[in-house]
Chains A and B, each alone.
Chain A
Amino acid sequence: EAQVTQNPRYLITVTGKKLTVTCSQNMNHEYMSWYRQDPGLGLRQIYYSMNVEVTDKGDVPEGYKVSRKEKRNFPLILESPSPNQTSLYFCASSLSWRTGTNTEAFFGQGTRLTVV
């Protein structure tokens, strides 16, 4: 089954304790991205990756890191989480970023993170 898998689904952590949210897709998609979703603000892009070893900042990258060592995996790293990073996080993948190709995004099931 074609899917994007995120783990964990729920996480409660303390301020400053490093954490990683994993994301994996089995569709051989080139493009992957991370979003956070907050009430009234919609989905905001954190980081994206056009292909292996190619990543760039989205609109709200502060406090986050990513890596793309393999095409299927795109983990999100919070080196020192703070309470303002409490949010619902979604990983998404698309076949390609190139204009004119199918850019429909497939989303993971989300990770609800609480930082206390």
Chain B
Amino acid sequence: GQNIDQPTEMTATEGAIVQINCTYQTSGFNGLFWYQQHAGEAPTFLSYNVLDGLEEKGRFSSFLSRSKGYSYLLLKELQMKDSASYLCAVDTGGFKTIFGAGTRLFVKA
């Protein structure tokens, strides 16, 4: 079966660092996406990891371990506008991308 797990909710403080984990078990794997989705809006692309390791993009970084079926999204210097849902998604090949249920991040002052 196909399974993607991520925490339902997380809370962090403005200016802090937060790590959102994602574990996956899928029948195929080409790469892993992270998307950000503000309430009532469309998801927007953050990152796509194909190879193991950490990729940094400004305040956001994404890590992948293919052997462990594990990824995380690291958000540094949190801002109030980072309050959103973060969606982990696996590109399984075969034209399909499977999404996790998302992690709602609350950033408090």
**Chain A residues near B (Cβ < 8 Å):** 31, 35, 40-45, 48, 50, 56, 58-59, 90, 97, 99, 103-110
Contacts and interface: CB of A to CB of B under 8 A. Distances in A.
Nearest to A42: B101
Contacts of A48: 95-96
Nearest to A56: B95
12 contacts: A42-B4, A42-B99, A43-B43, A43-B87, A90-B43, A99-B30, A99-B93, A104-B33, A104-B48, A107-B43, A107-B44, A109-B41
Interface of B: 4, 30-31, 33, 35, 40-45, 48, 87, 89, 91, 93, 95-102
A79 B98 CA distance: 26
A44 B99 contact: yes
Contact of B101 (A35, A40, A109): A40
